[in-house]
Amino acid sequence: MRWDFASVFTNTDALLVGAIGTLHIFVICLVLGLSLGLVVGLGRYARTPWFRWPATAFVEFFRNTPVLVQILWFYFALPMLLPFEISPLAAASLGISLNSAAFSAEIYRGGIQSIEPGQWDGARALGMSWGQAMRRIILPQALKRMTPALTNRAIEIFKMSTLASAVAYVELLQQGKLIASLNYNPIEAYTTVAVIFFVFLWPMVQFTYLLERRLRRSE
Amino acid sequence: MSYRWDFTPVVTNAPLLAEGLVNTLKVTGVSLACGLVLGLALALMRLSRHRLASWPAGFVIEVFRTTPPLVQLFWFFFALPLIVGVEMTPFLAACVTFSIQSAAFFAEVFRAGIQSIERGQWDAARAIGMTHGQALQRIILPQAVKRMIPAFMERAIELMKTTTLVATIAYADLLFAANEVSQKSFRPLETYTVVALIYFFVIFLASQFARLLELRLARSGESTVH
Amino acid sequence: MTLLRVVGLTKKFGPHAVLRGIDLDVQPGERLAILGASGSGKSTLLRCLNFMEMPDSGTVMLDDKVVGRRESELVRVRQRIGMVFQQFNLFPHMTAIGNVMEGLRTVRRFPKAEARARAGKELARVGLADKAETYPAHLSGGQKQRVAIARALAMDPELLLFDEPTSALDPELVGEVLNVIRALAEEGRTMLLVTHELGFAYHVATRVIFLADGTIHEQGTPDEVLKHPTKERTRAFLARHKEFSL
Ligand SMILES: Nc1ncnc2c1ncn2[C@@H]1O[C@H](COP(=O)(O)OP(=O)(O)O)[C@@H](O)[C@H]1O
Ligand SMILES: [Mg+2]
């Protein structure tokens, strides 16, 4: 068999559109997922059960269901309850963001819990409120310990973005499918897509390894 | 809210969903078993002093850990059959993809576990005349595996979630069955909700079991390696 | 016949030359005490003798036969040389008797019953017959080290290597381990013993070696080396071990 990548490269613009779509949904889910995760994570740490229980239920539910099921639920099921349609981007972003929020909530919670109680005492002794202590003393320290886990989450989000193709959102894999079906060249098309993802993700992965090593050395 | 819920189509199609769940478990089970064996092999190759073994293993591990599983699945389903010239069923493609993919993750778990065993254990094993293989099998792995169990469980649960991707290449797993039922019955809300709950129930049970096991192990004094 | 002969042994770690030409003959029944400052290469020397570390150059001969570098040959040589470690290195997932049986079962391929009988005898010899079914986590340091000695003895070694066998022990547990080693000495076992227990070395060893700068700096009878050292560095080393009472 002959490899013919020319048929892929004539479709560079299609791939470019796909890459933009991938980056688009990645950024949305990264921002939404990690910030919502912080809220939920703090909620799980709250004193009042009014925050703690919903936050716990949220985490348990979204950690224990597959993202693709969530995406399809938002795309096919949710519109039944709403007076409007849900776009592929919205459905996929919702699924991936909520899932990432659940996972990152656990990272935040673990990071906060890893700070010695003495730090809380010190902040309290200075007359800080819970919120001030959290913001000024606890989170800055915890964030440092959480960084590798959070960048790992970012990598997972990037990989999960391919699931948006299941609801025909235009991203890299979706464009790969398109190119493969138009040119009958699935080998080249899917290999190219795989290589593009690898090129995007490999530096992120190496960066995470670096952070992990550095953290391990500093502890 | 004006929507009238109706779960009858879901109930009538329960056998279809049940079959889907069985298929999901089948793919998970096969990939888990193959992934463990292959993962140990990859880990041992990766730890080998011979570059001819460690570099290819490192390459496979890196590639499968850093590319999206759905891309891998499409590649194995659409591209690989043309390269090697064999028929590829969705089931086979799923098993191959998820076996190698989980092997890549298991390999790192094995490696961390093996490396967490103190050098003295190797020393003592070799000092009584064991070969490398005997030391690994009798002394190192039994200790390492115990420490790795929580990480294994976590990975197995991830794997079960990942298997939903097979629905996109038309393998009749639970998610695919949901898609069919919802199209037949025009009841996507009920179908997808029920299916989401089934997934939640199964995976939640597995997670709780893993947690229990982890507690048990922690109490017996073995630390965990992630 | 010379049991062990070492000629021109050298070993480097990176640029750091730890052993720079060691020559050593050991006759059957000899007991060598090896002394030296921390980091002087005592452990490395022992580990080179059973090829746990690969020497860079030099030869090691057992019964006048040069030991080659093939793994299969090294495995056989290690069976003839027992080793006891500072940190015991017991297998934590096996009981005391399991530890002692392990070499017999896996390496020597003894049938289970035979291995168990033999292991039981070795445990009794170190005074731990009643701890056979105990896991290492529930043994004291001294008991662990005695199990480790039994594990080495079970392989019928012609030569025993002890690498600071009592250094990791609480002072009150040192005696029980030294007593076991003394009993082995009285049986006429050939052994190399790295130790900081100078009094014990004086009474038990037939020859004392002082290691410095990667070479044998001074050697002789315990009386010569420990009481009348000729070299300045040996004297300085002994002065630092004042508690040593002969
Ligand atoms: N595996 C190794 N890699 C690098 N350096 C080592 C290794 N083992 C020992 N060394 C170094 O070799 C020197 C001698 O070590 P060792 O034989 O353990 O000394 P001793 O047992 O006399 O205290 C030390 O400086 C030590 O740091
Ligand atoms: Mg030493």
The 10s digit of each residue's pLDDT in B183-197 is: 898 899 999 999 999
Is position A40 within any domain? yes
Q: Hey, is the C-beta of B223 within 8 angstroms of any chain C C-beta?
A: no
Give per-residue pLDDT as tens, A33-61. 999 999 999 898 778 888 899 999 999 99
From B177's Cα to the closest Cα of chain A, the distance in A is 12
Query: How many domains in chain A?
Result: 1
Determine, yes or no, domain membership for A114.
Answer: yes
Give the pLDDT confidence score for residue B222 in this predicted structure: 47
Number of the ligand 1 atom closest to the C-alpha atom of C44: 17
Mean pLDDT of B109-124: 95
Q: Name the strand (E) or helix (H) holding C219.
A: strand C215-220
For residue A112, being part of any structural domain is answered with yes
The CATH label, of 1.10.260.40, 3.40.50.740, 3.40.50.150, 1.10.3720.10, for the domain at B8-219 is 1.10.3720.10
ipTM > 0.85 (yes/no)? yes
Q: What residues form DSSP beta bridges with C60?
A: C6
User: Does the pLDDT value for residue C112 go beyond 50?
Assistant: yes
| Domain containing residue A53: CATH number | 1.10.3720.10
For residue C237, the model assigns a pLDDT of: 93
| Share of residues in chain A with pLDDT > 70 (%) | 99
Q: Which of C102, C118, C164, C192 to mutate to test the interface with B (most CBs of B within 10 A)?
A: C102
Calculate mean pLDDT across residues A72-83. 93
Mean pLDDT of the residues in chain A: 92
pLDDT band at A5 (very low <50, low <70, confident <90, very high): confident
**pLDDT tier, B225 (very low <50, low <70, confident <90, very high otherwise):** very low
In this predicted model, what pLDDT tens digit does every residue of B91-105 receive, in sequence order?
A: 999 999 999 999 999
C39 pocket-lining for ligand 1 (C-beta < 6 Å):
yes
**CATH, range C4-239:** 3.40.50.300
Residues A161 and A158: their CA atoms lie apart, in Å, by 5
Q: Is the dihedral of CA A137, A140, A145, A150 positive or negative?
A: positive
Residues of chain C with C-beta less than 8 angstroms from the C-beta of B130: 75, 103, 106-107
The type of residue at C148 is: A
- How far is the CA of B131 from the CAs of B140, C70, C76, C87, C186, in angstroms? 12, 12, 10, 21, 32
Give the model's pLDDT for residue A129.
87
| Residue B220: predicted pLDDT | 67
* Burial label, A90 (beta-carbon count in 10 A; 0-12, 13-18, 19+): middle
Nearest to B127 among C50, C92, C93 (CB): C50
Span from the CA of C191 to the centroid of ligand 1 (angstroms) = 21
The answer as to whether A162 is a domain residue is yes
Domain residue limits at A28? 6-218
Any CB–CB contact under 8 A between B216 and chain C?
A: no
Nearest residue (by CA) to ligand 1, atom 20, is C39
Any ligand 1 atom below 6 A from CB of C175: no
Q: Is residue B226's pLDDT more than 50?
A: no
* Pocket probe mutation, ligand 1, options C43, C47, C51, C194, max atoms within 8 Å of Cβ: C43
Put simply, the answer to whether B82 touches A159 (Cβ < 8 Å) is no
A199 touches chain B (CB under 8 A): no
Q: Find which of A121-135, A139-153, B24-38 is predicted with most confidence, using mean pLDDT.
A: B24-38
Residue C33, SS3? strand
- Mean pLDDT throughout A11-31? 95
pLDDT 10s digits, C72-93: 999 999 999 999 999 999 999 9
Question: In the predicted model, what is the mean pLDDT of residues C177-186?
Answer: 96
Average of per-residue pLDDT across C129-152 = 96
- H/E segment holding residue A177: helix A172-183
- In which band, very low, low, confident or very high, does the pLDDT at A8 lie, cut at 50, 70 and 90? confident
Q: In chain A, which residues have their Cβ closer than 8 Å to the Cβ of B72? A: 194
C145 lines ligand 1 (CB under 6 A): no
Tens-place pLDDT, residues C35-66: 999 999 999 999 999 999 999 999 999 999 99
The answer to whether A198 contacts chain B (CB < 8 Å) is yes
Higher pLDDT, A130 or B15: B15
